[in-house]
Amino acid sequence: MEASNFTGYDPPTFILMGIPGLEDAHIWISIPFAAFYTTALLANFTVLSIVAKEQKLHKPMYLLMCMLAVSDIITPTTIFPKALGIFWFNLKSITLAGCLTQAFFVPVSATVHSGVLVTMAIDRCVAICNPLRYTSILTNARVAKLGLVCVVRAVLYIVPFSVLLSRMPFCDNRIIPHTYCDTMAVSQLSCGDITGSRMYGLVLVCVATGFDMSVIAISYVLITRAILRMSSKKAHQKALSTCTAHILVILMAYPPGLFSILAYRFGKGITPSAHILLSDLIYLIPSMLNPIVYGIKTKELREEVVAFICRRFLIGITDCKTT
């Protein structure tokens, strides 16, 4: 049968299959997904609300936490409302515009997330290696500009890929075996040559992720050298404690993300259902855990979160703080 080209005046409607092979378990899978997504929204909006209200938290470190929280809201919100619609109501169809929107915002948000982690590493490096000049080097205005750079960089990285994707001719096979419009899953439905998009995607991963991880690694080499020069054991512990949350967030972001990307391109032995589940969880679990990790590991934020919860439940703030 001759393939039909649906580009032009007749934009295609794609079909998202959810998790092929696990259709009977979609309802059960949706329960933890919905719980994790709700927790992610509540936790990240709580961080944003508390930092916005508390004047003493208007510092570079907390501004970066807010940037991370915004990223952790946008990424799962781009994916999981539609995924839950598939699981609960069998709403599998998605327009070309909707598909391209998902395929744009997911990698943009992920790239912004990575850029914020790099900026956090620089923040910790300056705070530990040059504490006397920290407030003059990293002002709120400068951190806000770095955040804007992260956004602009992400858009510039992803726009060419999105343009390539939007210009591809799509044929009769419009079934996407996924819970969302992953860029590679969509490009594989094209009748045309996708070599350019595949190469650009691979180069983008290597360049963007490689650069970000290199800057983070250099920052922690400098941090480690500065800590080893400290004579006080208490100073060692304080310096390390300020980096713990950031290190945990890095470990939740990069290793699973790189594994998923490489598995999609080279992991022929991984079942599609396992890969789709992993792809979903690497966007969902970090978004849920990042604000919790920072809430637990950062004393000022932890105290404000406790006070916030106490006010919500009409418990004495003093009693809460003492417990």
Average pLDDT over residues 258-265: 73
pLDDT band for position 57 (cuts 50, 70, 90): very high
Residue-averaged pLDDT of the chain: 87
Q: What is the pLDDT of residue 111?
A: 94
Contacting residues for 222 by C-beta, under 8 A, at least 6 apart:
125, 129
User: pTM of this prediction?
Assistant: 0.90
pLDDT at 250: 95
State pLDDT tens for residues 141-185: 999 999 999 999 999 999 998 888 888 888 777 899 999 998 888
At residue 50 the predicted structure's pLDDT band, cuts being 50, 70 and 90, is very high
CB 113 within 8 A of CB 75: yes
Between 154 and 197, name the one with better pLDDT. 154
Q: What is the pLDDT of residue 238?
A: 79
Closest CA to 178 of 109, 92, 71: 92
- pLDDT for 145 equals 96
Q: Which two tokens stand for residue 194?
A: 């996708």
| CB atoms near residue 173 (< 10 Å) | 13
Residue 3 pLDDT grade (very low, low, confident, very high; cuts 50, 70, 90):
very low
**Vertex 24, ends 23 and 30: CA angle to 5°?**
75
Per-residue model confidence as pLDDT tens digits over 234-249: 877 877 888 999 999 9
**In 10 A of CB 149, how many CB atoms?**
12
Its CATH class, for the domain covering 17-322, is mainly alpha
For residue 223, pLDDT over 70 is answered with: yes
Confidence of residue 199 (pLDDT cuts 50, 70, 90): confident
Q: Which of 46-60, 73-87, 223-237 has the lowest mean pLDDT?
A: 223-237
Q: Which residue has the tokens 């309802």?
A: 27
Q: Which residues contact 160 (CB under 8 A, 6 or more apart)?
A: 200
Whether residue 271 is predicted with pLDDT greater than 70 in this model: the reply is: yes
User: Residue 33: is its pLDDT beyond 70?
Assistant: yes
Domain boundaries, the chain: 17-322
Provide the token pair at 206.
């290597």
Q: Which residue has the higher pLDDT, 295 or 309?
A: 295
Q: Identify the pLDDT of residue 274.
A: 87
Does residue 1 have a pLDDT over 60? no
pLDDT over 90 percentage in the chain:
58
Per-residue HEC secondary structure of the chain comes to: CCCCCCCCCCCCEEEECCCCCCHHHHHHHHHHHHHHHHHHHHHHHHHHHHHHHCHHHCCHHHHHHHHHHHHHHHHHHHHHHHHHHHHHHCCCEEEHHHHHHHHHHHHHHHHHHHHHHHHHHHHHHHHHHCHHHHHHHCCHHHHHHHHHHHHHHHHHHHHHHHHHHHCCCECCCCEECCCCCCHHHHHCCECCCCHHHHHHHHHHHHHHHHHHHHHHHHHHHHHHHHHHCCCCHHHHHHHHHHHHHHHHHHHHHHHHHHHHHHHHHHCCCCCHHHHHHHHHHHHHHHHHHHHHHHHHHCHHHHHHHHHHHHHHCCCCHHHHHHC
